[in-house]
Amino acid sequence: MTLFGKTIAITGASSGIGAEIARLARFQGAHVIGLDRNDPMITLDGFVKIDMGDAAAIDAAVAALPTGIHGLVNAAGVSGLADKDVVARVNYLGLRHLTEALLPKIAKGGAIVNITSILGAEWPARVDLHKDLAATKTWAEGEAWLAKNPVPQATCYQYFKEALVVWTKKRGYQTFMQNDIRMNSVAPGPVFTPILGEFVQMLGEERVAADAANIKRPAIADEIAPPVLFLCSDASRWVTGINLPVDGGIDALYV
């Protein structure tokens, strides 16, 4: 697998999973443009400030990006300890807005990879709701839908990761058929990143302890990056609309 000569844009590139994806992409020969609200702490080929919770800021970032991008990795996100409206904007509405706005600048044969979560695995239980939300076309329509279908704070993180899985599948089919651009997602389990502690608080120590007894350990961020970049590469040119668990077996545990 190689990314030589490809331009990859990565949100959340300044830390955590996004930073590891950026490092590996450059090692494999890609020209990497990071997008983040925080300044990067790693070497990049380009960097654009972005606030994923603000549509105007996203539009400004898209305007600053070049045409002919070969891959977009949506790795930015916030935990469920943030206000549910912030989680909705950053983890779903903003990600969707950026992706749609950037589509005209993505080359044919390009790829989009969204970072979901193993916590989105129960999407089939609410698939009709998620399909309704996915059918909204704009940021404003999405916000209006959420106002009529409020999401509880306690489960907002899981809910919007579920919604992202469904949107990835629906939109991934469309972008492949209409634009020759693939869209897939990767669903990590717990990962050693700066916000791992927030997920422990979000889920509760009892739930975390129960899960910990059934897994080897949390992942290292550089164990998530290779599958993400496989989905950006030409080696996955016939893969679209999947949600790939990269979780040390957690998805298999609950079958």
Q: Which residues does the annotation mark as catalytic?
A: 157
Are 135 and 98 contacting, i.e. CB atoms less than 8 angstroms apart?
Answer: no
Buried/exposed code over 217-247 (b: 16+ C-beta within 10 A; e: otherwise): ebbebebbbebbbbbbbeebeeebbbbbbbb
Q: How many residues make up the chain in this entry?
A: 255
Per the structure block, which two tokens stand in for 136? 């909204």
Q: How many CB atoms lie within 10 A of CB 115?
A: 27
CB contact set of 94 (below 8 Å; sequence gap of 6+)? 52, 53, 54, 55, 58
CA 19/CA 24 separation, integer angstroms:
9
CA 187/CA 164 separation, integer angstroms:
11
Q: How many CB atoms lie within 10 A of CB 252?
A: 9
Buried/exposed code over 48-65 (b: 16+ C-beta within 10 A; e: otherwise): bebbbbbbebbeebbeeb
- Find tokens 């939300």 and name the residue: 133
Residue type at 84 in one-letter notation: K
CA 189/CA 195 separation, integer angstroms:
13
Are 43 and 18 contacting, i.e. CB atoms less than 8 angstroms apart?
Answer: no
